[in-house]
Structure 1
């Protein structure tokens, strides 16, 4: 408390307090006048201690004002934090919307690339089919010109059967062994070309070969084929590589045979992984079988598992369908 007064007046007030007399200097502030008179009581026993002062109404009112100010500051801080939170949430929402738009754009671009690649594969497949037929016809014409007309009437299977028979005859008579080997290679190339393309492999159990690419596994499923049942069969001149369709921004994986008879997927390229190459065989019932580098046939079991086995039977035969 600070009251402006002259030196003489200050001395008078001080002496009055010492003598226990009241002063009228604080009469306009009754609450303060009461507190000062109490604190300057002549007898020490009549003066308040610290605990009593803290409980006095004068100091209690000051404390309440301080509490109110503290509450106001806390509320202001809370408002600032809420505003910051709102700004962060709005920025996050905007970033996520922009990210989603960018992803949609990339997906459309990827699908466009896939469509272009598929068109290229279709064109290449048509060229390979045409070349295979020409090679087959040329082989028959070279060895047995008279069978050409019958082969044209009966189709590709007749050409293959006739040519295989001719090769067998040549091997038995040991005439022109070099030509026989070349002819065998030509037939293998024709088979790999005929099997290649965008294919779905359907087993004896009416199940479809599936590439579970996230897990690097292979099995068969009994339901309408979807993306994971779509394969690219690549022509490797007498052998083929079966490649899964893959996913956006991720190339497909290749079907691989292992020496223990198991079958899985690999990301290794067939030129670096012999187990990813298979020799195709066209069966009499128009199904196809695939021989691994380990001399075993791709086989589908009724429990959905896929392995390789030494014998060629019904379970090792697959129908090739286009997708």
Structure 2
């Protein structure tokens, strides 16, 4: 949503009878907080802005909501039912003809089309463009944590598991999503950055090699901390209990923010992450000791074969 859509948000808040409104923004949108706060204040609302880090719809500012009638969470789609939260999308447009950049890399006829929530409103236009170029594009329906057709999250690649798809075209920024899809589906994945206008074929082998090195380093750990997030959308205590049962050296540790300093202070030889799956994959270079995914810990405990390696997801 652009600031020009503030009138629709005001209508939603008025319909709920809200007087005090909490606002939460992901890192890329935080600089818009002041503009939204002023616009709502000028309309008669009392406004509180959450300044804490926000990593997705799984990371709601519930402490701030405790002092407000409604929390407006910008930039993400809901991952569960939150009656006192309004999820406001932040749409990013582009010309679907930019898909032309990816066409030389597509080697199959039947293409699975996936993107992030910022671009899901353009799925029909992208499908039409691919059809006009002779491709059979297929889009998975929305479900669970990804309610929009074709939507993927960094922790959920369900939309990439498309029956009949021979290849995946990911439209979005970064390589984590397409690497995750390559690991999850076993299919060739082409990543198109629609803002930069660049396309590349993505391989999961580099990630596999890096993760194998982390796992080997973790084998010598004398103590293991099983991290459980206290954030409502990331909390996986049942999984943590299962993982803790695999080793007599494992202890469950609850945390809200998983940071290198806190892991260093706790002093475990390695950690297993059941919070946001991207922590283990994205932030390993910052952590003082190995941080494994649940599947990787199962491998080093002998409960899963290396051939069964899978990327961690929250379904």
TM range (shorter): under 0.3
TM-score with structure 1 length normalisation?
Answer: 0.24
TM-score with structure 2 length normalisation?
Answer: 0.25
Q: Which has the higher helix share?
A: 1
Bigger CA radius of gyration: 1
